[in-house]
Structure 1
């Protein structure tokens, strides 16, 4: 699931895909209706990849929670709607993420998550597959090896100037 360019914009329904950055903001396309909008730099914008939810042990990234929903629903739409009552939504979310912090995760957060998941699922952006990091791990290992093998060269001492040279 790649949500690196998916945005949530405060005051705007649904999700948006970042298309182009401009001097005064950026251009985004709605995933709901495909309309393009310009968003100024003063707007409150969040990347989906940067959002997380509270659990009793840690903060869980939204991407991992959506992956858990995709596994539960076999990459299909959720069995509950974001318009269902709070009791149903919280029971459903408890099945997906059993250790979520019930004091800090509100029903409105769960509604938003389910709505966002269904939008992404309709666009085919949902996957239950773990991201392939084999290549990234290999690159990381290579870089670490190169750094370890590189010689550390001391910096040259700065030339001191005397009053006669000035």
Structure 2
């Protein structure tokens, strides 16, 4: 019988960092959708940031390990694909942590993804300038692109607006 609470699970999940971006938790990233705890099961639903996210299996494995370490019973980590993850789900705290890490974050697009993609620029994480351009739509992971700041002359990675 599981004696842990949903709040305890949320708190524990907040200690699991993204394998590719170790400065934010998977909760701050917005991939943890729901947590349910009852006498027989502990269920966590998570959404990958990108359909081919190379870190997704590591995240799911970390969630399962953390729950078992807590003594959870009937552990299930479920994948939820709809609605797909969006950069809009990043918490304000996560956005600031990402900027300090050197990763630009797109403005919230509130569903106007086409407009956000066409804009293709994000504020420079180093100097804050919006005088930037995307130099390559492909970064080190499927959810990132490469940018360049015309003012401070620094290249940077940016999260794609998803």
Question: Scaled by the length of structure 2, what TM-score is found?
Answer: 0.30
**Larger Rg computed on CA atoms:** 1
Task: State TM-score, norm by structure 1.
Answer: 0.29
Which structure is higher in helix share?
A: 1
